[in-house]
Amino acid sequence: MHIIQGVIEMTASYAQRLAALRAAMKAKNIDAWIIPTADPHLSEYLPARWEGRYWLTGFGGTAGTLITTADISELWVDGRYWEHAEDCLAGTGTVLGKLVTGTPHVDSLIKNLKSGAVVGIAPDVLSLSEKRYLESQLGKAGISLRHDIDLLDDIWIDRPGASDKPVFAQKAQFVPESTAQKIERIRQAMQAAGADHHLVSGLDDIAWITNLRGSDVPYDPIFLSYLLISGKEATLFVDEAKLDADSKKVLADAHVAVAPYADVGKAVAKLSGSLLINPDRTAVSTLGNLPAGVKLIEGLNPSTEFKACKSDAEIEHNIEAMVQDGVALCGFFAELEQKLAAGERISELDIDDMQLKHRQQQPNFVGLCFGTHAGFNANGSLPHYIATKEKFSYIEGQGLLLVDSGAHYHNGTTDITRMVCVGEPTPEQQRDYTLVLKAHIALEQAIFPENLSGVLLDVITRAPMWRTMRDYNHGTGHGVGYFLNVHQGPQIISYFKPVNGQNVMKAGMLTSDEPGLYRPGKWGIRIENLLVTRKVKNPEETQFGSYLCMEPITFCPIDTKLIDRSLMTEDEIQWLNDYHALVREKLAPRTQGAAREWLERNTQPI
C-alpha cells in the first residue's frame, strides 16, 4: 500500500487514499468527514489545492459533497450527475448518493451516526451559513461538528500550493464604470445597511469591483483575494507579486491599498463596529479572529446585485462578443458538416479542438469559460458529460450530437447549446426536440412583473413539456457575468430552488435559457441562448407596475431538421423565423465561404 507515515504517494489508488483518510479520522477521533465542492471563497470551479473530492474519488463535476465514515463513503450529487458519477466511482470505495429535493445529505449523516459522534470539515471550505445549518441539524441528533483542522493536509503529500498566476487589468475600452465609482456605490449601500465595514470573499465580486481579472481558477477569470471596504479605506488582500503595473495603477487610482493574502485574518481581528458579509460566501476560517463585539450584518454583497444588472454599455459590449462567438460557431458547424459528409472520422474530443480553433480567430478572445460538453447519442443524455481520452465516442452512424460550449472575450462571456442531427431523425427524436424548443421559446416570449422570482419563470418554461409528462433534472437558467463567471447569481430560473427576495429578475440581467430532455442510453437534447432582461417598451398598461421581457443576444442558428412543425403554433414558428432573420442580419456581414453558406441555409424560414 502506498502510504508512508500516514501520507499518500501520488501513485496511490483512490481506495488507498480513502483508507488514509479513514486512518486520519480515527487518529483524531472523528466519525465522519465532509468534503464539499468549495474553497475559502466558496467558488464553483476550484483551484487545484481544494480539489480534495476529486483527489479522493476521481469525480470532477462542478457540484457534489463527499461524506466518509468508518463504514461508508458516499458522494452526494444531484440528478445531473448520477450516471456520470456512478461511472467515475466504480472501484474507488465510494458509492453514489442521490441528492433529491427535500432529502439533504445531512440526513445520511444522522442515519449512519450515533449520538455523541463527531463530524469534521475543514474551516476554509465551510461557509458561515452552512456551519449554522450543520450544527443545527446534527445537534438535534446529539452529533457535534468540528471545524478546526483539515485532514487532507495530513495525508495529501503532494497537495498543490496556492496559484501564482498573474492578475491583469480589464481593457479600458470595456470598463464603463471605474473601480472608484463601484466602491462608492458599495459604500452607499453599506451606509444604508448600517455597516462600518464590508468584507468581500467572493472572487467574482472582487474581480468586478476592482476591474481586474486573473486565472487562479480554471475557466473563471478571477484571482485569489479578499477585499475589505470601510468608510474611507479599502484594502485588497492578494499576493502583490501577481499584480502587473496596470493592475497596480487601477488600484492606486481608486485608493485601494494592497496587503498580503494571508493577512486578511489580522485585519479582521482589528475590526470594530459592524461588518457586512454574505454568510453563504464567507468561510468560517476567514472570520476566525473576528472580535466578539463586532456586529455582523448579513445579506447579499451589494456588488452581487450590482454586477448582475448590466449597464447599457456592458450589454452592448456583450452583444458584440456574442456576434464574434456566432461567427466562430458558423465556421465550426460548417467545418463539422463538411468533414462528416466527407466520411472523416470525428470524435467528441475533436469537437472541442475545432471550436477552440475558430474562437481563437476572433478579436478579444481570452479562453473557454467551461470544458466543452460534446455528447453523441447516449453520452448526450448525461447533462454534464465531458469527453476524456479514456472515454469518448466517435460521431458516426446516425444520431444526435449535443454541443454545449462557451467562451470569455475581453468584452463579454458566452454560453450556448446547439443540437446537430447526424443522418435522419426518428419521429421520437423530433417530438422530444420540438418540445424542448417550445419550452425554450416559452421563456424567450415571457412577459412578467419586475422583481418576480426567477424560480417562478421555470413553470412558464416547462409548461409545454409538462403537458406531455416530460421534464429534466436541472435548472433552466443561470446568470452570466460580464467577462466573468459563466454561472453567476443572484437570479436563477429553477423550480428546485426556493422563492425568495434575492433571486428576483431585474432589467439588465443576463440569464441563460436552456431547457432539455434526456433519454438515458439513447440521447440528450438541450437548446440554450443567453437572454437580456429588458423593460417592456410601450406597455399596454402601467397601473399594474413595471413589466419585463426577454431579448436573445445569442446569435447562432437553431437546428430545424429536428423540428416536427405540426407540434408548433404559428406564433412559435414566427418567433423562430424572426430569430433566424436576426441571426442572419448580425452574422452574414462577417462570414464568408462555407461559413456564410451554412449560415444562409440554416436560417431559412420554416
For residue 548, what pLDDT is reported?
Answer: 97
Structural domain ending residue among the three candidates 125, 155, 185: 155
Cα separation, 175 vs 50, in Å, equals 32
Residue 31 · residue 123 · CB < 8 Å: no
Cα separation, 213 vs 203, in Å, equals 10
Structural domain ending residue among the three candidates 134, 155, 176: 155
Mean pLDDT (the chain, rounded): 93
For residue 100, what pLDDT is reported?
Answer: 75
Same domain as 242, residue 343: no
Write out pLDDT tens, residues 1-52.
333 334 444 456 889 999 999 999 999 999 999 999 999 999 988 999 999 9
Write out pLDDT tens, residues 420-449.
999 999 999 999 999 999 999 999 999 999
Same domain as 257, residue 386: no
Structural domain ending residue among the three candidates 307, 337, 367: 307
Same domain as 454, residue 514: yes
Quote the domain boundaries for residue 472: 309-601
Instruction: Kindly report the pTM of this predicted structure.
Output: 0.92
Closest alpha carbon to 169 in 238, 250, 227: 250
* 15 membership: H or E segment, kind and range: helix 14-27
Same domain as 428, residue 528: yes
| 95 — pLDDT class (breaks 50, 70, 90) | confident
Write out pLDDT tens, residues 142-176.
999 999 999 999 999 999 998 889 999 999 999 99
Entry field: residues in the chain: 606
For residue 102, what pLDDT is reported?
Answer: 62
Number of structural domains the chain divides into: 3
Cell of 151: 485532514
Buried b (16+ CB within 10 A) or exposed e, 573-588: eebbeebbeebbebbe
| 348 — pLDDT class (breaks 50, 70, 90) | very high
Cα separation, 606 vs 603, in Å, equals 9
Burial of 192 (0-12, 13-18, 19+ CB in 10 A): exposed
For residue 395, what pLDDT is reported?
Answer: 96
Which residues, 6 or more positions from 324, have their beta carbon under 8 angstroms from its beta carbon?
Answer: 362, 363, 364, 365, 409
Write out pLDDT tens, residues 453-508.
999 999 999 999 999 999 998 999 999 999 999 999 999 999 988 888 889 999 99
Cα separation, 321 vs 130, in Å, equals 37
Q: What is the rounded average pLDDT of the residues 330-346? A: 97
Helix runs in 254-347, H state only:
264-269, 302-308, 312-341
Closest alpha carbon to 206 in 307, 351, 341: 307
**pLDDT > 80? residue 116:** yes
Same domain as 179, residue 138: no
CATH number for the domain that contains residue 78: 3.40.350.10
For residue 210, what pLDDT is reported?
Answer: 99
Q: What is the rounded average pLDDT of the residues 261-270? A: 96
Same domain as 182, residue 98: no
CATH number for the domain that contains residue 341: 3.90.230.10
Same domain as 178, residue 150: no
Which residue do the cell numbers 402601467 mark?
A: 542
Same domain as 508, residue 371: yes
Residue 213 · residue 483 · CB < 8 Å: yes
Query: Is residue 163 in a domain?
Result: no
Write out pLDDT tens, residues 220-244.
999 999 999 999 999 999 999 999 9
Cα separation, 214 vs 387, in Å, equals 27
Same domain as 297, residue 327: no
Query: Is residue 161 in a domain?
Result: no
For residue 6, what pLDDT is reported?
Answer: 42
